[in-house]
Structure 1
Amino acid sequence: MRSVIEAAQALAEGHLVAFPTETVYGLGARADQAQAVAQIFAAKGRPSDHPLIVHVADAAAAAHFAAELPPVAQRLMQAFWPGPLTVIVPRRTGLAAEAAGGQDSIGLRCPAHPVAHALLQAAAALGVMGVAAPSANRFGRISPTTAAHVAREFADQPELLILDGGDCNVGIESAIVDCSRGKPVLLRPGALERAAIEAAAGEPLHDRDKAAPRASGTLAAHYAPRAKVRLMSAHALRTALELLGPDEARQAGLAVYLRTVPPPTKMVVRRMPSEANAAARELFATLRALDDEAGIRLIWVEAPPEDSAWDGVRDRLTRAAAA
């Protein structure tokens, strides 16, 4: 396995490094160097105005990139850092503009994964105070939750340094809360439930509005496999499967990902865990596995429950189906 010290040195020299976090694997570059950040956009095929999240080792490093840390942001950082929560705060003028997609605000997160944390600390010792890192995949596609996913995604870039930290134990990207405009606004759900975030914030979360800053992973279509995803209620999925039958399903290149619907025979089937965190942990790996099945062109997915514990999973599947 490539070493953390080797990876930190590569970041300091302006190279790309893929590394694990507890959410998904990230494709990172030093956030304070425009040329380094530009490599992320080029490798992913990502629009340069779509902002990146800057990963930091601690709150002191976050303050390096922030013009200010509003009180609500500080409360959320205290409650959930290190962990799967990103706060958007006013950006320090003249710093990390490219990573912020040209906006006056910036997204900051302190990851909990021990490899990520060790990397950020080692990089900071070399003068790299933050690492801009979106998910280590092609833009708009399924996020990687293992080092093998990253290696396959960037097989055409064998020079990419990949730190292997095992499977990601959260499995979907961080929740994002905008704290830059005087009220906390939930821009993207994650594994943390809304009620828990509101309790730590000490005030209700507002819903996204037209004035919200752009943020990672919030486009209508995202997280998508090559196969077309269709999100269906349990009743609609059960009815459609009964009408279609296994022979037609094979001809259509259909796979199904279900939770409560009885699994049909002679079809490519994956079962969704009944518990939200377990489903989140397996979601992207399952979509990748179905996408890799020979001949699969369609993936029918049973819609998750409506309760808030499933908000993050439902968000990712809704965006995957919109692609």
Structure 2
Amino acid sequence: METNYWQIDQQQVGQSQAIEQAAALLQQQQVVAFPTETVYGLGADATSKQAVDKIFQAKGRPADNPLIVHIANREQIKEYVTSIPAHAEKLIEAFMPGPLTVILEHNGTIAKNVTAGLSTVGIRMPDHPVARRLIEVSGLPLAAPSANQSGKPSPTTAKHVYDDLNGRVAGIVDGGPTGVGVESTVLDCTQDIPVILRPGGITKEELEEVLGTVMLDPALAKTGDKPRAPGMKYTHYEPEAPLWLVKGDAAFFQAKIDQYREQGYKVGVMVSKELATQLQAETIKVCGSQADLTQVAVQLYDTLRAFKISDVDIILCESFPEQGVGQAVMNRLTKASSRIVRN
């Protein structure tokens, strides 16, 4: 398959012929990758099983892993759900457009392979001019998981998408690098007290400022149940080399580097700029600052993708505080890791 590639200036998105061309492919039941404020998504008509099947084929994604439906305006939500509870209305008002996905009971208009047979659907309104314009011009709700091969780190640039999916999708819309860096927060709004199914770009603390009380789903720690939201069940975000999370101070981290070196491993290190100054290793990649976990989130996937298996055998990665967006960062790193090394 030939993959069309368009580069779009966000300031001129309203006059872009590329948007028209990409939207036409979507209307023809093809899949097209596009930027959002979180990561790049791989979009298809959410009302067409045939179109959505092509997402699963392109990604190699398990069929029981539900997809999120992307819309261009808040009013569209009513077209796909049975009702919108009062607490969900507050969230929609506060955080849409933005990196929040609300889980609601659907009315059957969304294709069954989008919802993985569940009675609920996740809906969000991206805060990105290219994404919203593409949805508007196509006239379609777009089912859109991250535009990467299943299991790999999510893409935050069009180059990441091209590396993973060139020849497997109909088109890639390059709208520049994304801003948030980690996926949307997924919140189950079908219960009296909303439940976070996936931490993301909107923090638990921000949600609680609006609602008062929000719960974190205990199932985030489990892998055996049928997933109710993307990212809950399967291993995700894995770099080319095995990633081991290190929980300990700088001295412990350095001791582990030395130990694995002596065992014959080529060791790569993924850490904050503060810890990087205290370590000695052949390959050190900095993913941000301990003082700004938002920056770590933005650089997370790009840093994971920077490690090549030709250069390292294992990646030792710093653990970060699970506060604010750090909760999303550690959720992704835990899913990406194959081992946790503790002090």
Q: Same fold (TM over 0.5)?
A: yes
Partner of 1:131: 142
Closer/same/farther in 2, CA of residues 43 and 213 from structure 1, 3 Å limit = closer
CA contact (8 A) 2:226 2:233 kept: no
Partner of 1:174: 184
- Tell whether 2:171 aligns with 1:155: no
Amino acid of the structure 2 residue aligned with 1:256: V
The one of 243, 258, 261 aligned to 1:245:
258
Partner of 1:230: 244
CA contact (8 A) 2:185 2:201 kept: yes
For 1:84 and 1:257, the matched residues in 2 are separated by: 26
CA contact (8 A) 2:245 2:319 kept: yes
Query: How much has 1:94 moved relative to structure 2?
Result: 4.5
CA contact (8 A) 2:257 2:281 kept: no
Query: How much has 1:243 moved relative to structure 2?
Result: 5.6
For 1:86 and 1:247, the matched residues in 2 are separated by: 41
For 1:244 and 1:97, the matched residues in 2 are separated by: 48
TM-score, structure 2 as length reference: 0.86
Closer/same/farther in 2, CA of residues 62 and 228 from structure 1, 3 Å limit = same
Q: Which moved more, 1:176-185 or 1:259-268?
A: 259-268
Closer/same/farther in 2, CA of residues 4 and 243 from structure 1, 3 Å limit = closer
Cα deviations by residue, 1:227-262 (Å, 9 ceiling, x for unpaired)? 111111242x63242364399279412100112423
Written as runs of structure 1 = structure 2, the 5 A alignment for 1:248-259 is 248=261, 251-259=264-272
Written as runs of structure 1 = structure 2, the 5 A alignment for 1:295-314 is 295-314=311-330
Q: What is the total number of aligned residue pairs between the two structures?
A: 315
The one of 33, 45, 51 aligned to 2:66:
51
Partner of 2:214: 205
Partner of 1:271: 286
Query: How much has 1:212 moved relative to structure 2?
Result: 9.2
Structure 2 residues not aligned, in runs of 5+: 1-5, 8-17, 220-224
The one of 93, 97, 101 aligned to 2:108:
93
Query: How much has 1:322 moved relative to structure 2?
Result: 4.1
Structure 1 residues not aligned, in runs of 5+: none
Query: How much has 1:61 moved relative to structure 2?
Result: 1.3
Query: SS of 2:133's equivalent?
Result: helix
Cα deviations by residue, 1:109-155 (Å, 9 ceiling, x for unpaired)? 0000111011111112xxx2x10000011112110000000000013
Query: SS of 1:177's equivalent?
Result: strand
For 2:67 and 2:265, the matched residues in 1 are separated by: 38
For 1:95 and 1:293, the matched residues in 2 are separated by: 40
- Percent same amino acid at aligned positions? 36
Amino acid of the structure 1 residue aligned with 2:165: F
Written as runs of structure 1 = structure 2, the 5 A alignment for 1:35-74 is 35-74=50-89
CA contact (8 A) 2:67 2:143 kept: yes
- Tell whether 2:202 aligns with 1:192: yes
Q: Which moved more, 1:313-322 or 1:204-213?
A: 204-213
Q: Which moved more, 1:59-68 or 1:204-213?
A: 204-213
Query: How much has 1:306 moved relative to structure 2?
Result: 3.4
Closer/same/farther in 2, CA of residues 46 and 303 from structure 1, 3 Å limit = same
